[in-house]
Structure 1
Amino acid sequence: MSQVLDTPPPAPAATEPAAAASSEDLAALAARHGLSVSGARPSLPRYLRQLWARRHFIGAFATAKLTAQYSQAKLGQVWQVMTPLLNAAVYYFVFGLLMQTSRHVEDYVPFLVTGVFVWTFTQSSLMAGTRAVSGNLGLVRALHFPRAALPVSFCLQQLQQLLFSLAALAVILLAFGVPPAPSWALAVPALVLQFVFNAGASMVLARLGARIPDLSQLMPFLLRTWMYASGVMYSIHHMAGEQSDLPPWVAPLLQANPAAVYIDLMRFALIDSFHADQLPDHVWLLATGWALLAGVGGFIYFWKAEETYGRG
């Protein structure tokens, strides 16, 4: 007699409800033990609290970067002041002497040096912000912290460098007969608004730079074009005067340029020959609006991609 061997029936496949139940069990288990997805984006209020909790790290990181910036140079930190001064000297030779723009501006040297120092603050902040994430991937991947700390710390580093430059600027103002005045105190709110604007714009560029590495190569050309439109070396008020040949829409556009707004506010605060009629209308509201638009908008834009930084 032959023996018939029956193969056992196949095991039933797992059904979708069972898989869903398993997922729910895992989610409940994670919630019971206080576990969460690693690197998940926190809520905006919680993100703000995390950033504030790391304010000491931000300050220390900015100071360390500033100290190390010129550590290999023999003159060391003197270059913090020398670099914008040398730029101002070049611009004075080209624009003040060769192109004779100084004829239309009273106290041209203080006017020019103030513009160069204030513009350098914005320019350096945005350049550093572009590589804030992409240039610090080792730190981003090794430590857990709110990534907005990086562009903010780079802006704080540039603010510290500007404060060194302002000490030299005060000497230049006194040397060219510009006396100290109570209006110098207006430099403080102007710098605060400019810092908020720079930090917000840096966060926008940090997110874009994390995805588009070539952006850092394009930024010098964009910033140089922006500088020429910001009245660093010439007076926008004079260029946009009644005898100007510019189209009527150009003058308001130049005067509303955020870089020009912060430069002119600093000139108004520090130079007594720079009068209020050379400022655009409602200049403080304009400066505040730019700071809020860039600061709040840039922060939210950067936060929305928080979980993507350092991946890929």
Structure 2
Amino acid sequence: MSQPESAVADAQAGGRSGQEPLSKLAKRYGLRRAIARPRFPAYLRQLWERRHFIMTYATSRNVSKYSSSALGQLWQVLTPMLNAAIYFLMFGLILGGAKGIENYPAFLLTGMFVFTYTQRSVTAGAKSISSNLSLIRALHFPRASLPLAYTIQELQQLAISMGVLVVIVMITGEWPTWFWLMIPVVLLMQTMFNVGASLVMARVGSTMRDMNQLLPFIMRTWLYASGVFFSIQDKIVEVVGMPQWVANAMYANPAASYIEFMRDILIRDHEPPVWVWVSCVFWAVFALAFGFWYFWRAEERYGRG
């Protein structure tokens, strides 16, 4: 009789006689729960071992996402540009949001492209567990692979969008400087934040089914609070007349921080507060560390119910 069969037989006999608990039998024969949560370092190691699966899954989703549309991958560039055109008409021209802002087209497009990256990563992460229950129940793998793959998918789409953004910014009169070499650094920090936020929302979305209905309203509020189509300093302090600490709090918003940092790199005359880069570093490190820990804590519960 094999060891597992012997363990089962002993467990049945022990259950009938009441002599030895099942937990002790499992420990004696080296058995463990199939979905037991590994230790955090081991969990990260398992994720690294599955990096090829994560990349392949993200790439395949990216290719298939627009395969049925006539314009295909162009939609990942057209969507933020169309949104930017609407906001330029409404807020820049009709409501006068462009007043006092140098190179408003570059200002607006940079905000839209950067914010859209975070928005789509968080939204996709919130659905990553609930949309893949069949995969989770069929295969054993670190569940964090799914929100990670969704964020990488959005990063792949951003690479094309950033190429278009750089061309548009140059057309509006901005020319490359040495500061443009910082673009990958900003995107790396934003990606770290997006991964952490996606992991948090993946856990929340796996249990709170109504989150997908609330997210559009949350994202719209976040959009308005991030200074995408207006200058936080000019509108909040100088026009509205609110205290400076309100503007500082809005700048500390992670989405606003990455937008302002990217604008500072791409637009010569744009000068956000000097501490914005500190906010970018803080949110990148904190969100990534907390996101992995928070998601890992519920590893055993994903796919149940």
Alignment TM-score > 0.5, same fold: yes
**What does residue 288 of structure 2 align with?**
295
| Mapped partners of 1:181, 1:102: distance in 2 | 24
Whichever residue aligns with residue 23 of structure 1, its letter is L
Is 1:181 the counterpart of 2:177? The answer is yes
Unaligned runs of at least 5 residues, structure 1: 1-13
**What does residue 70 of structure 2 align with?**
74
Contact 2:14 2:21 in 1 (8 A): no
- The alpha-carbon deviation at position 134 of structure 1 amounts to 0.4
**What does residue 310 of structure 1 align with?**
303
Unaligned runs of at least 5 residues, structure 2: 1-12
Whichever residue aligns with residue 277 of structure 2, its letter is W
Indicate the SS of the match to 1:101.
Answer: coil
| Mapped partners of 1:24, 1:254: distance in 2 | 53
Is 1:45 the counterpart of 2:38? The answer is no
Q: Alpha carbons of 1:20 and 1:155: their partners in 2 closer, same or farther (altered >3 Å)?
A: farther
Contact 1:236 1:255 in 2 (8 A): yes
Contact 2:260 2:276 in 1 (8 A): no
Indicate the SS of the match to 1:104.
Answer: coil
1:251 aligned residue (225, 247, 250): 247
Is 1:269 the counterpart of 2:258? The answer is no
Indicate the SS of the match to 1:94.
Answer: helix
| Mapped partners of 2:128, 2:27: distance in 1 | 38
**What does residue 92 of structure 1 align with?**
88
1:129 aligned residue (122, 125, 128): 125
Is 1:114 the counterpart of 2:107? The answer is no
**What does residue 105 of structure 1 align with?**
101
Residue correspondences, number: 293
Indicate the SS of the match to 1:171.
Answer: helix
Give 4+ residue runs of structure 1 displaced > 6 Å after superposition: none
Structure 1 stretch 252-261 or stretch 283-292: which is displaced more? 283-292
> Alpha-carbon deviations, 1:159-178, whole Å to 9, x = none?
11111101111111121111
- The alpha-carbon deviation at position 250 of structure 1 amounts to 1.5
**What does residue 205 of structure 2 align with?**
209
Is 1:55 the counterpart of 2:48? The answer is no
- The alpha-carbon deviation at position 271 of structure 1 amounts to 1.5
Whichever residue aligns with residue 57 of structure 1, its letter is F
- The alpha-carbon deviation at position 40 of structure 1 amounts to 0.6
1:169 aligned residue (157, 160, 165): 165
| Mapped partners of 2:147, 2:107: distance in 1 | 29
RMSD over aligned Cα atoms:
1.9
Contact 1:128 1:154 in 2 (8 A): yes
- The alpha-carbon deviation at position 283 of structure 1 amounts to 2.1
With structure 1 as the length reference, what TM-score do the two structures score? 0.89
Contact 1:30 1:36 in 2 (8 A): no
**What does residue 151 of structure 1 align with?**
147
Identity %: 48
Is 1:30 the counterpart of 2:29? The answer is yes
| Mapped partners of 1:133, 1:125: distance in 2 | 14
Indicate the SS of the match to 2:293.
Answer: helix
**What does residue 9 of structure 2 align with?**
none
Q: Alpha carbons of 1:222 and 1:243: their partners in 2 closer, same or farther (altered >3 Å)?
A: closer
Contact 1:41 1:306 in 2 (8 A): yes
Q: Alpha carbons of 1:20 and 1:251: their partners in 2 closer, same or farther (altered >3 Å)?
A: farther
Is 1:283 the counterpart of 2:282? The answer is no
- The alpha-carbon deviation at position 249 of structure 1 amounts to 3.5
Whichever residue aligns with residue 19 of structure 1, its letter is G
Indicate the SS of the match to 2:20.
Answer: helix
> Alpha-carbon deviations, 1:88-112, whole Å to 9, x = none?
1001000111011111210100110
- The alpha-carbon deviation at position 270 of structure 1 amounts to 1.4
| Mapped partners of 2:283, 2:226: distance in 1 | 15
Q: Alpha carbons of 1:230 and 1:25: their partners in 2 closer, same or farther (altered >3 Å)?
A: closer
Q: Alpha carbons of 1:70 and 1:24: their partners in 2 closer, same or farther (altered >3 Å)?
A: closer
Contact 2:107 2:267 in 1 (8 A): yes
Indicate the SS of the match to 1:234.
Answer: coil
> Alpha-carbon deviations, 1:18-56, whole Å to 9, x = none?
63525365224431xxx3211110000000000011111
| Mapped partners of 2:236, 2:64: distance in 1 | 43
> Alpha-carbon deviations, 1:209-229, whole Å to 9, x = none?
100111011000001001000
